[in-house]
C-alpha cells in the first residue's frame, strides 16, 4: 500500500504489538530480567514504522511491564513482592526491643532493608508541615530526610519534621543514626509520650525528581503518606512526609466499628 497507511482495524497497531509482547511476558516466554527485542528488530518483525514500535514500548512501560534504558535496551521487569505496612510497625514493644519501624516491618516482608540518611539539619517548615505542627509557616524545625532500600533497590523516601523546642535537648536525633528504636524511642525517653498517629494517604504520579530518587519509570504512581505523631498532651511532635513507589507497598489499616 501507499505511504500514510493507517490502522483500520478495531484496535490500534501499537496496542496490538504491546498486547502481543505483554502476552509473551505473562506467559514467561520473556522472563523477568530478560532483554526485550530491540526497537529495530521489532520494526522488522512487525513490519511497522519506528514511531509505532515506540508507542507500543511506551505502553508496556506505563503498564510497569518493562523498564527502558537509553543506550542499553529494554528489560522485563522483575516484580519484587510487595511490602505490607501496618500500624503494628509502630508498636511500643517494637521500639523497646530496639527495632526501628522499618526494621520491624522488614522482618515480615523478606528482603534486605537498608537506609541512607540524605540530610539532617534545620529547615524552614513547608506550609503544610507547619500547619500540622501548629507552627507559623517557615518556622525553623529539624528535618531528617532518608531513603529506604530493599535488596539495594530504593523503595521509599521519608522526611521527618520535628519542632525545634522538642529536639533541642535530644542530641541523638541530630545524629545520622538516632539509636535503637528510632526517633520515636528517643522522644518517649524525653517525656514526649506518644498517644496516637494519624496518617493521610494520597496517590498520584511521580514527579520528575521522584522518578530519579526512586528509579521509577516516568508516569509511575507513588503513594504520598503524611503521618502526625501525637503525644498524650495532644501535641504533634513529629510530621513524617513519605513518598513510596506504589508498586512496592500495600498499606494495612484496622479500625473499630465505633459508635
Which of 37/111 has CB closer to a copy of itself?
Answer: 111
Which of 92/212 has CB closer to a copy of itself?
Answer: 92
Q: What are residue 221's DSSP bridge partners?
A: 205
Tracing cell 498524650 back to the chain, one arrives at 232
Q: By CB under 8 A, is residue 257 in contact with a copy of itself?
A: yes
Determine the Cα–Cα distance for residues 123 and 163; give it in Å rounded to an integer: 10
One residue of 195, 209, 212, 233 binding a copy of itself per CB under 8 A = 195
Of 51-70, binders to a copy of itself (CB under 8 A) are 51, 62-64
Q: By CB under 7 A, is residue 52 in contact with DNA?
A: yes
Which of 45/204 has CB closer to a copy of itself?
Answer: 204
Q: By CB under 8 A, is residue 251 in contact with a copy of itself?
A: yes
Contact segment (CB under 8 A) with a copy of itself among 39-47, 127-135, 158-166, 193-201 equals 193-201
One residue of 54, 84, 91, 224 binding DNA per CB under 7 A = 54
Handedness of CA 220, 15, 12, 38 (dihedral sign): positive
Supply the DSSP symbol for 181. T
Of 206-225, binders to a copy of itself (CB under 8 A) are 218-219, 221-223
Cβ count near 64 (within 10 Å): 16
The SS3 assignment for 194 reads strand
Residue count of the chain? 259
Judge contact between 159 and 213, C-beta under 8 A.
Answer: no
Judge contact between 213 and 244, C-beta under 8 A.
Answer: no
Nearest partner of 151 among 73, 79, 75, judged by Cα: 79
Which of 177/215 has CB closer to DNA?
Answer: 215
Tracing cell 521487569 back to the chain, one arrives at 77
Supply the DSSP symbol for 214. T
Q: By CB under 8 A, is residue 197 in contact with a copy of itself?
A: yes
Q: By CB under 7 A, is residue 68 in contact with DNA?
A: yes
Shortest distance, CB of residue 248 to a copy of itself, whole angstroms?
A: 10
Nearest partner of 244 among 151, 176, 161, 148, judged by Cα: 148
The contact set with a copy of itself (CB under 8 A) reads: 51, 62-64, 82, 87, 90-93, 194-205, 218-219, 221-223, 229, 246-247, 249-259
What are the residues binding DNA (CB under 7 A)? 3-8, 12-15, 36, 38-41, 47-52, 54-55, 57, 68-74
Amino acid at each position: 500500500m501507499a505511504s500514510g497507511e493507517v490502522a483500520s482495524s478495531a484496535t490500534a497497531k501499537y496496542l496490538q504489538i504491546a498486547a502481543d509482547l505483554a502476552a509473551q511476558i505473562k506467559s514467561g516466554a520473556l522472563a523477568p530480567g530478560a532483554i526485550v527485542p530491540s526497537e529495530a528488530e521489532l520494526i522488522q518483525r512487525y513490519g511497522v514504522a519506528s514511531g509505532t514500535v515506540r508507542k507500543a514500548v511506551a505502553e508496556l512501560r506505563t503498564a510497569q511491564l518493562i523498564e527502558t534504558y537509553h543506550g542499553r535496551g529494554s528489560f522485563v521487569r522483575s516484580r519484587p513482592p510487595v511490602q505490607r505496612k501496618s500500624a503494628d510497625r509502630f508498636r511500643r514493644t517494637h521500639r523497646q526491643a530496639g527495632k526501628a519501624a522499618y526494621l520491624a516491618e522488614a522482618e515480615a516482608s523478606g528482603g534486605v532493608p537498608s537506609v541512607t540518611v540524605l540530610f539532617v539539619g534545620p529547615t524552614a517548615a513547608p506550609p503544610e508541615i507547619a500547619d500540622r505542627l501548629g507552627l507559623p509557616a517557615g518556622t525553623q524545625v529539624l528535618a531528617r530526610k532518608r531513603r529506604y532500600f530493599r535488596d539495594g533497590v530504593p523503595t521509599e523516601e521519608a522526611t521527618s519534621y520535628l519542632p525545634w523546642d522538642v529536639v533541642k535537648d535530644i542530641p541523638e536525633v541530630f545524629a545520622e543514626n538516632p539509636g535503637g528504636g528510632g526517633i520515636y524511642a528517643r522522644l518517649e525517653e524525653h517525656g514526649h509520650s506518644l498517644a496516637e498517629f494519624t496518617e493521610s494517604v494520597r496517590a498520584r504520579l511521580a514527579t520528575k525528581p521522584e522518578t530519579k530518587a526512586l528509579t521509577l519509570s516516568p508516569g509511575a504512581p507513588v503513594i504520598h503518606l503524611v503521618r502526625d505523631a501525637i503525644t498524650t498532651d495532644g501535641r504533634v511532635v513529629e510530621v513524617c512526609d513519605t513518598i513510596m513507589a506504589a508498586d512496592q507497598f500495600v498499606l494495612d489499616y484496622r479500625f473499630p466499628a465505633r459508635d
